[in-house]
């Protein structure tokens, strides 16, 4: 990072419609308007993906407008530009090592000083398409975990910046 540049933070998950997107909006909210840091998110899977209703409702209930969000696929250039890139799960971290030869910290490492992957809804609720209540309950618990950890993430993130 050059002395005059604003730090860039990038969150990475699978489809950029749940975990990384939530972390992006949670960090922006925690930093507040006028903060010079650039915050983004991306996914490892090809788009298109749709944001499921419980994610939209949860973030809207927190006063966050995600209507402009478009799932973005991670590129090597985006990864290189990030002063701090963060994987939401171990599968993301492992794939990034294989594909881009870069090891990222997990969200839990930065926010909570633990190594806990944030598993996707389908990993925890295999019948998530037919069990919307369980899917939403688990998904909201993940989003709570992200928001609850954001104050610590903000304090700890400078120690993880590259460059």
What CATH number does residue 64 fall under? 3.40.50.2300
17 within a domain of the structure (yes/no)? yes
User: Can you give the pLDDT at residue 5?
Assistant: 64
Please state, in angstroms and rounded to a whole number, the distance separating the CA atoms of residues 91 and 19: 13
Which pair of structure tokens corresponds to residue 47?
């788009």
CA angle 124, 61, 137 (to 5 degrees): 20
In a domain, 3, yes or no: no
Domain with 139, as residue range(s), is: 8-160
Instruction: Please report whether residue 144 resides in a domain.
Output: yes
**Residue 2 covered by a domain:** no
Number of domains in the chain: 1
- Give domain status of residue 129, yes or no: yes
Identify the helix (H) or strand (E) that includes residue 156.
helix 132-156
Q: Band of the pLDDT at 2, cuts 50, 70, 90?
A: very low
Percent of the chain with pLDDT over 70: 95
Residue 33 forms part of a structural domain: yes
pLDDT in tens, 29-56: 999 988 999 999 999 997 667 898 999 9
Report yes or no on 1 lying in a domain: no
């Amino acid at each position: 990072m050059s002395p005059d540049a604003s730090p860039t933070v990038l969150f990475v998950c699978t489809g950029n419609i749940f975990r990384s997107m939530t972390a992006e909006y949670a960090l922006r909210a925690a930093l507040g308007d006028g903060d010079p840091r650039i915050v983004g998110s991306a996914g490892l899977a090809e788009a298109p993906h749709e944001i499921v209703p419980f994610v939209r409702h949860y973030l809207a209930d927190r006063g966050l407008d995600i209507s402009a969000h478009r799932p973005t696929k991670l590129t090597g250039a985006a990864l290189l530009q990030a002063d701090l890139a963060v994987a939401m799960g171990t599968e993301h971290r492992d794939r990034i090592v294989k594909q881009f030869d870069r090891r990222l910290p997990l969200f839990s490492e930065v926010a909570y000083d633990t190594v806990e992957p944030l598993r996707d809804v389908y990993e925890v609720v295999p019948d998530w398409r037919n069990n919307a209540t369980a899917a939403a309950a688990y998904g909201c618990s993940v989003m709570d975990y992200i928001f609850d950890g954001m104050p610590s993430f903000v304090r700890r993130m400078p120690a993880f910046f590259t460059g």
